[in-house]
Amino acid sequence: MSFKRPKFLFELRHWPERAKAPISPTTSKPEKDLSPLTLPIKAFKLRLANGPPLAPTAKAFKSYSETCASLLRLCRATSAASTTKPAYAPSSGSLPLVLSLHAHTLRSGLAADRSVASNLLTAYAALARAADRDQVFRDCVVANAASSFTYDFMVSERVKAGDIASARRLFDGMPEKSVVSYTTMVDALMKRGSVRDAVELYERCPLHSVAFFTAMIAGFVRNELHKDAFPVFRKMLNCSVRPNVVTLICVIKACVGASEFDLAMGVVGLAIKWNLFEKSIEVHNSLITLYLRMGDAAAAHKVFDDMEVRDVVSWTALLDVYAELGDLEGARRVLDAMPERNEVSWGTLIARHEEKGDTAEALKLYSQMLADGCRPNISCFSSVLSACATLHDLRGGTKIHANALKMGSSTNLFVSSSLIDMYCKSKQCMDAQRIFNSLPEKNTVCWNSLISGYSRNGKMVEAEELFKKMPARNAASWNTMISGYAENRRFGDALNYFCAMLASGQIPGEITLSSVLLACANLCSLEMGKMVHAEIVKLGIEDNIFMGTALSDMYAKSGDLDSSRRMFYQMPEKNNITWTAMVQGLAENGFAEESILLFEDMIANGIAPNEHTFLAILFACSHCGLVEKAIHYYETMQAHGIPPKDKHYTCMVDVLARAGRLQEAEELLMKVPSKLDTSSWSSLLSACNTYMNKEIGERAAKKLHELEKDNTAGYVLLSNMYASCGKWKDAAETRILMQGASLKKDGGCSWLQLRGQYHAFFSWKGKHPLSLEIYEILDLLMWELTT
């Protein structure tokens, strides 16, 4: 039986020519807004006078399937064109024909043809009919009509939809994997940050292509693993796969990130050899960044000046690296010279000013950006909100918040995190909580921002409740809690959270360990401090200047001066904070003379002291009775441009008062331009008690009362002074006056560490839960001592 092609297929094959034919006067006018698919749809709707034969010839069947595939390709092309021509919308144009062709292929058996099946898939994908697309794919798999292209296409579609897990399952189930699918999966995994999984696929792939190697190199660069990109590039060259422009740009970025500038120049040589340097503006842009990171601004300018065509990326690259090198004025000159500025150009300069601490200029640039007619992007909003948070500019921050709401960017997770941080730093925790609650999705950064905000405002109860509710925690989450407790002087809780962090398997960072060492130093917990030291050695960061300083300070405050000295002298690098910590540690532990000698060594080594260094040395002079040296260092501090603060005055008063020079101490306090805190006058009053100077003592007590009426120290010291002078009546009156004001002397507090737990004892609170057992043991010990 011969194959007779249905009449509708003849009409479909010739509909383009018929559509272009001139319209005769006798014919009717064409329909208004005639779609390119109008004739095919009408032709297809004709009844099939002669359906496909039961046993057509192979040649006729192939021609028949090619016609159907061509029509499906036409539908896909028309659907793609609909994005720029709304009149040809897929739903009203090509979709009916695709559905009809699909039905016909199922009836006639053409659906088993791989070409027809592939074009059905792509047509449904172009029409955003995911359910129909997936059904066609399942039918292909069942009918064994799924080609390599079919699987590759479906893997790509799952990746585009963001369903990486489903794409991976489909990829793993492929009967034969192509390099296209490997490339798609590697690129998707790298973009998601799953570097280990991407590397596993890379090592398993037996095939190679330019796109495959480029996806790996670009993925390493995106995840800031710059040095890992180099072996992939070398393998690419060894496999005789020639890189393209995108590959070379990614390799140059990797070289810049890893500071491998010699290798970068070799890549530039390859670009020149393969004539890619002249063709691509992107290569020129990468070269600008490369030369400026190398510190060769002249070469960067030469590349920029030699470019025949420059885009906004070229100008922004020049601007960004000027800012990276710290030349913000040069960056601004580049911005002003740009023929066209966009939100990336403005945002780059704003972000650099904010990172360098010039927050006021960042906000000024933001206002100029709005005046220039540019819409801020996500990065720009995050930068200016961070600037407002640093300046505690609540009014400016709320205006930016309103602008973000207007532009629909307020629910973005990066912007929301910056908003939460800004409101918390402005002490508006309730507003920050409302923003947090309004987010449809919350990531770990949002949780950490709010927890940090509560901690910064001393609301550790709320911070702890949020921490317990977190669906997932990272190292930053634990650090936020630990540093929060340390900043709020709840050192025992800080150490407990650190132990819990280690138990959870999280690896502490430098900031966490610094907070823990601070807690150990304040609790004088040498045992815990040594455990933290062991953890630092295990992590290989013992030579880090911040860790070394923190360890030296912890050992000094815990009374282990030998370990403190050893840490200090074995440090390969020291800054003024390191020297200050050691000077202070020696002074506080009674080694005042050694502290002064170390301070002199510090000056001789060209290390500039800071206000804390001078405070430590004045403390050392006070405890050694070195009045003249203290006066000398006090004057030296002012010569260094460091104005004295309350603690410096208190220390100088203590130096003079201990030497009995009470009148000089009082005169020094009276010369202070601003009001001091009570500690300076308390120090003078205490010395008056020692030297029984009633006149100066009474004036000091009066000043104390003026500064802080509820301070009990003045009453107690004045009463003790009267008693030491034999003025018992005055002493009694002072005590009565204190009782009449309903004032109580602050109670004492002490604690001890036992088996990893901290036990605190307060004189003004109730008894310890184990007080009965404690006193029984004390009685037993006293009995043993006396018998």
Cα gap 674→645, rounded to integer Å: 10
pLDDT range class, residue 717, cuts 50, 70, 90: low
Phi, psi dihedral angles at 193 (to 5 degrees)? 95, 5
Helix (H, G, I), strand (E, B) or coil at 752: strand
SS3 per-residue string spanning 377-435: CHHHHHHHHHHHHHHCCHHHHHHHHHHHHHCCCCCCHHHHHHHHHHHHHCCCHHHHHHH
Q: Where are the beta strands (DSSP E) in 280-375?
A: none
Span 370-391, average pLDDT: 87
Beta bridge partners of 758: 753
**Closest to 652 measured CA to CA, from 634, 637, 670:** 634
Cβ neighbours of 142 (radius 10 Å): 10
Q: How confident is the model at residue 723 (pLDDT cuts 50, 70, 90)?
A: low
Residue 12 has pLDDT above 50, yes or no: no
Enclosing domain of residue 756: 749-786
C-alpha distances (whole Å) from 129 to each of 98, 121, 207 are: 11, 9, 33
Residues 623, 654: contact at Cβ < 8 Å?
Answer: no
More confident residue, 537 or 6: 537
- The tokens describing 672, both together, are 């202070």
* 45 burial via Cβ count (<10 Å: 0-12, 13-18, 19+): exposed
Instruction: Determine the Cα angle at 337 with ends 335 and 342, to 5°.
Output: 45
- Identify whether 356 is part of a domain: yes
Q: Taking Cα atoms as reference points, which of 546, 577, 578 lies closest to residue 564?
A: 578
Are 446 and 345 within one domain?
yes
The residues, ordered by sequence, that sit 6+ positions from 658 with a Cβ below 8 Å of its Cβ are 622, 625, 687
* Contact of 619 with 584, CB cutoff 8 Å: yes
Which residues fall within 8 angstroms of residue 331, CB to CB, at 6 or more apart?
319, 320, 322, 323, 349, 352
Local confidence band at 563 (pLDDT 50, 70, 90 cut-offs) = very high
Query: Which pLDDT does position 148 carry in this prediction?
Result: 72
Residue 748 pLDDT > 70 = no
Q: What is the pLDDT of residue 17?
A: 43
Average pLDDT of the residues in 92-120:
65
Residue with tokens 């792509």: 122
Q: What does the pLDDT look like over 301-353, one tens digit per residue?
A: 787 777 777 788 888 877 877 777 777 888 888 888 888 888 888 888 888 88
Tell me: do 488 and 367 sit in the same domain. no
pLDDT at residue number 759 = 65
Same-domain pairing of 756 and 704: no
Buried b (16+ CB within 10 A) or exposed e, 184-205: bbbbbbbbeebbebbbebbeeb
pLDDT digits (tens, 9 = 90+) for 250-260: 998 898 888 88
Average pLDDT of the chain, as a whole number = 77
User: Does 370 reside within a domain?
Assistant: yes
Mean pLDDT of 100-114: 64
Residue 226: phi and psi, rounded to 5, are -65, -40
DSSP string covering 233-246: HHHHHHTTPPP-HH
Q: In the structure, what pLDDT confidence band is assigned to residue 43 with cuts at 50, 70 and 90?
A: very low
Domain boundary among 573, 591, 607: 573
Residue after which a domain boundary falls, among 573, 597, 615: 573
Mean of pLDDT values over 445-463: 90
What pLDDT is recorded for position 511?
87
pLDDT band at 33 (very low <50, low <70, confident <90, very high): very low
Report CA Rg, the chain. 39
Domain assignment present for residue 284? The answer is no
Mean pLDDT of 236-241: 88
685, HSE (Cβ side, Cα atoms, 13 Å):
24
Yes or no: say if 718 and 697 are a contact pair by the CB < 8 Å rule.
yes
Q: How confident is the model at residue 62 (pLDDT cuts 50, 70, 90)?
A: low
| Residues 386 and 420 both lie in one domain | yes
Work out how many domains the chain is built from and give that number.
4
pLDDT of amino acid 780? 83
Question: Do residues 648 and 742 share a domain?
Answer: yes
Q: Strand, helix or coil at 659?
A: coil
b/e sequence 293-332, b meaning 16+ C-beta within 10 Å:
bbeebeebeebbeeeeebeebbbbbbbbbbbeeeebebbb
Whole-number pLDDT of residue 751:
61
> Is the CB of residue 147 less than 8 Å from the CB of residue 175?
no
What pLDDT is stored for residue 257 in this prediction?
A: 87
Rounded Cα gap, residues 113 and 21, in angstroms: 34
Q: In angstroms, rounded to a whole number, what is the distance separating the alpha carbons of residues 151 and 148?
A: 5
Q: Both 483 and 449 in a single domain? A: no
Q: What is the pLDDT of residue 90?
A: 40
Confidence label for 777 from pLDDT (cuts 50, 70 and 90): confident
Tell me which DSSP letter residue 374 carries.
P
The answer, yes or no, to whether residue 53 has pLDDT greater than 70, is: no
User: Who has greater pLDDT, 504 or 712?
Assistant: 504
238 vs 24, higher pLDDT: 238
Mean pLDDT over 61-79 rounds to: 64
Q: Write down how long the chain is.
A: 787
Q: What is the mean pLDDT of residues 705-719?
A: 56
Same-domain check for residues 707 and 765: no
Q: Distance (Å, rounded) from C-alpha 663 to C-alpha 627?
A: 14
For 189-202, give the secondary structure using H, E and C: HHHHCCHHHHHHHH
At 756, which amino acid appears? G
pLDDT of residue 768: 64
- 363 with 466, same domain? yes
Tell me what percent of the residues of the chain surpass a pLDDT of 70. 72
Residue 621 tokens read as 């002079």
**Cβ contact 463:454 at 8 Å:** yes
- What is the rounded average pLDDT of the residues 737-754? 53
pLDDT for 91 beyond 50:
no
Q: Provide the residue type at 41 as one letter.
A: I
Task: Tell me: pLDDT of 627 over 80.
Answer: yes
**Residue 34, class by beta-carbon neighbours within 10 Å (0-12 exposed, 13-18 middle, 19+ buried)?**
exposed
pLDDT in tens, 212-233: 999 999 999 888 888 899 999 9
pLDDT in the model for residue 351: 86
The pLDDT assigned to 784 comes to 80
In a domain, 720, yes or no: yes
Q: Looking only at Cα atoms, what is the longest distance across the chain?
A: 136
More confident residue, 719 or 634: 634
What's the CA angle centered on 90, arms 85 and 92, to 5 degrees?
A: 100
pLDDT of residue 441: 80
> Which pLDDT does position 84 carry in this prediction?
46
- Whether the full predicted model's pTM is greater than 0.85, yes or no, is no
Is residue 482 very low, low, confident or very high in pLDDT (cuts 50, 70, 90)? very high
Contacts for 577 with CB less than 8 Å, ≥ 6 apart? 549, 610, 612
The interaxial angle of helices 475-487 and 444-456, nearest 10 deg, is 0
Q: What is the pLDDT of residue 27?
A: 41
Mean pLDDT for the stretch of residues 517-522: 89
If you search the block for the tokens 């800031």, which residue do you land on?
224
Look up the CATH number of the domain holding residue 435: 1.25.40.10
If DSSP codes are grouped into helix, strand and coil, which group holds residue 54? coil
CB-based contacts of 165: which residues, under 8 Å, 6+ apart? none
The residue with greater pLDDT, 372 or 75, is 372
Please tell me the predicted confidence (pLDDT) of residue 478: 92
pLDDT at 533: 92
Residue 481, pLDDT above cutoff 90: yes
- The reply to whether 20 falls in a domain is no
For range 629-649, the mean pLDDT:
85
Give the range with max mean pLDDT: 22-26, 62-66, 552-556, 620-624: 552-556
User: How distant, in Å, are the alpha carbons of 210, 384, 429 from that of 401?
Assistant: 45, 10, 15
Least confident range from 95-109, 155-169, 368-382: namely 95-109
Residues 374 and 444 in one domain: yes
Helix, strand, coil percent values for the chain (each to nearest 5)? 70, 0, 30
Please check whether residues 350 and 467 belong to one and the same domain: yes
Residues forming beta bridges with residue 759, ordered by sequence position:
752
Dihedral sign, Cα of residue 412, residue 415, residue 418, residue 420: negative
Positive or negative: CA dihedral 439, 445, 450, 453? negative
Mean pLDDT calculated for residue range 442-455 = 89
Pair 613, 580: CB distance under 8 Å? yes
Residue 615, domain member (yes or no): no
Transcribe 134-202 into DSSP letters. Answer: HHHHHHHHHTT---HHHHHHHHHHHHHTT-HHHHHHHHHT-SS--HHHHHHHHHHHHHHT-HHHHHHHH
Same domain, 496 and 435: no
Point out the domain boundary residue: 573, 599, 614.
573
Same domain, yes or no: 702 and 725: yes
Torsion, Cα 87 92 95 96, to 10 degrees, reads -140
| Sign, Cα dihedral of 489, 490, 495, 498 | negative
pLDDT in the model for residue 46: 43
DSSP helix/strand/coil, 760: strand
The average pLDDT across 645-658 equals 81
The answer to whether residue 187 sits within a structural domain is no
Other Cβ atoms closer than 10 A to 384: 32
Residue with tokens 């629909």: 408
Q: Report, as an integer, the average pLDDT of 428-445.
A: 87
Helices of type H across 674-744: 678-691, 694-707, 712-724, 728-740
Tell whether 363 is covered by a domain: yes
**Which residue reads 């997932």 in tokens?**
472
